[in-house]
Amino acid sequence: MVQIKQDGDGFLYTHFSECLRHHARATPDRLAYRFLADGEDSLTITFAELDTAVRALAALLQARYSPGERVLILLRPGLGYVTAFMGCLYAGLVAVPAYPPGATKTLGRLEGILDDCQPVAALVAGGDVREIAVSLAAVAPQTDILDLDNLDKRHAESWQPVVGQRSDPAFLQYTSGSTGNPKGVIISHGNLIHNSQCISDTFGICADSHIGSWLPPYHDMGLIGGILQALYVGCPATLMTPIAFLQRPLRWLQMISRYRVTVSGGPNFAYELCARKVRAEDLQALDLSCWAVAYNGAEQVRARTLHAFADKFAACGLQAGALFPCYGLAEGTLLVTGNGLARGAVVRSFHADLLEHNRAVPLAVGQPAEGRLRTLVSSGRPTPGLEPFICDPDSERRLSDGQVGEICIVGHSVSAGYWQRPDSTAEAFRPAHVQQTPWPRFFRTGDLGFMLEGELYVSGRVKDLIILNGVNHHPGDIECSVLRAHEGFRPDGAAAFSIDMDDGERLVVVQEVERRAVRGLDVAKVLGEIRAALWQQHRLAQPWLLLVSGGTLPRTSSGKVRRQDCRRLFGAYLQALAAGEAVPLQQRVIAVEQGGQLRVEQGSPQRELAV
């Protein structure tokens, strides 16, 4: 296994590009990546072949641009994405992974990134070239369009190695923006190398491992955990597209089984989809005994999902110890805490009443389950060189074990800040006091949680926190309760928030319904079950409930629901509805229950139920 030097802050590599150079020399003919173009047919590339393609692109970029300039990557998932990213690094440029090309609205989301980082070029390929060229000409005429399909491999010999520092930016990771506008997190070569070693150590990844990923390459988990980790340790990786997985979740498990993948994962909803949608008759052909690390992160990890997934696929050889909850974020490069190899998920029950008052008191072993309980999954222990701690969101005072507050992180993987955003950087990356940490600065994540017996538990988001009648409620818990009301609800399609109305603060829950389930949905019954669950589990009465079509909720580039945007969107809708006004959103709404009054919208397949 590649090892970081432990003398001072010296790393084995100074520049992340040295990883690929090393493996291209040491194991030139070894498989680097396999890409399943349609989820099944594969394309492959060795370390030597990849190095040649990367050097050819880097030579072209070096001839045109100066070190430190930004280059936008606008490519669909595939081997070309790896070439483009590493080509930028080989050239001493700053890569900017972006949303894949597609619908006009997707390209429109790039305008903020274009304005923010001012890229000198955009790397494109295939049938997207013309569309992207036309779109960027209107909003970023100074950005060159470079078609990778025209890349001449003979340019590889013209490449000149870059002399850089670990503090040099490697790429800008634009955050999901689930609670705000996306900002470019500056990830240095030192950040990337350190966190890659953290992942390697925590997940037990070595040259004999095999990584599998369907995650988007423009998102930190897919890019660093799914693609770059393989370059760091020199192991093979098999990749597929997000859409191939979403269309047929079974493909992910088939990839793991067929290619003997040892490390793979994704957000909680991916495990939920597999537990729900993979048919019993498909289990016999799966052999998941090779799957050593099934990491689960990027959103709230739910105990119910872990149990359902483990129970369903145990017959396929999946070991319960492979389930690997973890915690990370872009400002920490990626990984911050991990569960531990072969340990399995750590699930504990806490007294809900005390948690709502920021005290985490677990139910003792053998203690009868009395009163309301809240089940949380541990996100594991800190990785070497990173330290999470909990602070009071108002005073920034460091809190002790079992006290709920804002999760903060320090360490070598923590970014220097946001690109060209000094105010946002100063707000989130804070100077530290001796009482907080020996490190000179720390990052406030905006996540709520607590430390207990060396383990990190994440309970929600500071800005998403719902406070009703002086009691704290975490949206994820409310959304989980709603999800259980009907099997036709989308597992990643709920938003709980509060809005301020004339008669006080109101809880609103919006839930997406899968298309197949809409026509047969007993709206009145389902809404009644939701109300009962919210009262029994959270003591929440008279919620405002909305059932909407799948795809209605605003989401980030990585698929997370934007609760703050939901609050603005549906708050305006409910106020307009109360005033008797017509609003465009009505076409996406199936039913609304407001103050005990059920309303089924015009155009909904459920309209006949209301008459």
Pairing of strands 42-46, 31-36: antiparallel
Nearest to 316 by CA among 276, 263, 258: 258
Report the alpha-carbon distance of residue 378 to residue 339 in Å, rounded: 7
- In the predicted structure, residue 333 carries a pLDDT above the cut 80: yes
Calculate the average pLDDT of the chain.
89
Q: Which has the minimum average pLDDT: 344-353, 369-378, 586-595?
A: 586-595
Which pLDDT does position 584 carry in this prediction? 65
Which pLDDT does position 436 carry in this prediction? 82
Domain ranges of the chain: 347-461, 466-610
Alpha helices (H) in 66-209, listed in sequence order: 79-90, 104-108, 110-117, 129-139, 189-203
231: tokens are: 């370059």
Q: CA angle, corner 197, sides to 208 and 202, nearest 5?
A: 75
Which residues neighbour 562 within 8 Å (Cβ) at sequence distance 6 or greater?
A: 177, 178, 179, 553, 554, 555, 556
- In the predicted structure, residue 392 carries a pLDDT above the cut 60: yes
Once rounded to an integer, what is the mean pLDDT over residues 71-75? Answer: 96
**Which residues are bridge partners to 362 per DSSP?**
350
244-258, 359-373, 462-476 — most confident range: 244-258
Which pLDDT does position 4 carry in this prediction? 39
Report the alpha-carbon distance of residue 246 to residue 39 in Å, rounded: 11
Helix (H, G, I), strand (E, B), or coil: what is residue 244?
A: helix
544 versus 40: the higher-pLDDT residue is 544
Nearest to 219 by CA among 101, 329, 93: 329
Query: What's the predicted TM-score (pTM) here?
Result: 0.83
Once rounded to an integer, what is the mean pLDDT over residues 569-586? Answer: 75
Once rounded to an integer, what is the mean pLDDT over residues 117-137? Answer: 92
- In the predicted structure, residue 580 carries a pLDDT above the cut 90: no
Which pLDDT tens digit goes with each residue over 586-601? Answer: 678 898 988 777 888 6
Q: Which amino acid is at 38?
A: D
Which pLDDT does position 6 carry in this prediction? 41
100: left (phi over 0), alpha (psi -120 to 50) or beta: beta
Helix (H, G, I), strand (E, B), or coil: what is residue 166?
A: coil
Once rounded to an integer, what is the mean pLDDT over residues 175-189? Answer: 75
**What strand order describes the sheet that includes 323-328?**
42-46, 31-36, 237-240, 211-213, 263-266, 293-296, 323-328, 335-338, 381-382
Which pLDDT tens digit goes with each residue over 430-480? Answer: 999 877 888 899 999 999 999 999 999 998 888 787 877 666 788 888 998
Chain Cα centroid distance, residue 305 = 17
- In the predicted structure, residue 54 carries a pLDDT above the cut 50: yes
**Which residues are bridge partners to 293 per DSSP?**
263
Query: Where does the pLDDT of residue 352 fall: very low under 50, low under 70, confident under 90, or very high at 90 and above?
Result: confident
2 versus 257: the higher-pLDDT residue is 257
As its CATH architecture, domain 466-610 has 2-Layer Sandwich (3.30)
349 versus 353: the higher-pLDDT residue is 349
112 versus 176: the higher-pLDDT residue is 112
Q: Which has the minimum average pLDDT: 215-219, 516-520, 522-526?
A: 516-520
Contact 156, 91 (CB under 8 A): no
5 versus 396: the higher-pLDDT residue is 396
Which pLDDT tens digit goes with each residue over 55-72? Answer: 999 999 999 999 999 999
**Which residues are bridge partners to 352 per DSSP?**
none
Report the alpha-carbon distance of residue 193 to residue 329 in Å, rounded: 16
Report the alpha-carbon distance of residue 331 to residue 17 in Å, rounded: 21
**Which residues are bridge partners to 381 per DSSP?**
338
- CB burial of 89-111 (b: ≥16 within 10 Å; e: otherwise) equals bbbbbbbbbbbbbeeeeebebbe
474: tokens are: 């975490």
On the 0-12 / 13-18 / 19+ scale of CB atoms within 10 A, 262 is: buried
- CB burial of 318-356 (b: ≥16 within 10 Å; e: otherwise) equals bbbbbbbbbbbbbbbbbbbbbbbeebbbbbbebbbebbb
Which pLDDT does position 585 carry in this prediction? 63
Nearest to 211 by CA among 276, 265, 251, 162: 265
Cα separations (Å) of 476 from 259, 271, 371, 480?
35, 16, 20, 6
Query: Where does the pLDDT of residue 179 fall: very low under 50, low under 70, confident under 90, or very high at 90 and above?
Result: very low
Contact 325, 354 (CB under 8 A): no
Which pLDDT does position 103 carry in this prediction? 45
Class (C level, CATH) for 347-461: mainly beta
| Count of alpha carbons within 13 angstroms of residue 575, beta-carbon side | 11
Task: Compute the 3-state secondary structure of the chain and give helix, strand, coil in percent, each to the nearest 5.
Answer: 35, 25, 35
Chain Cα centroid distance, residue 247 = 19
Q: Which amino acid is at 371?
A: G
Q: Which amino acid is at 509?
A: V
How long a stretch of residues is the chain? 611
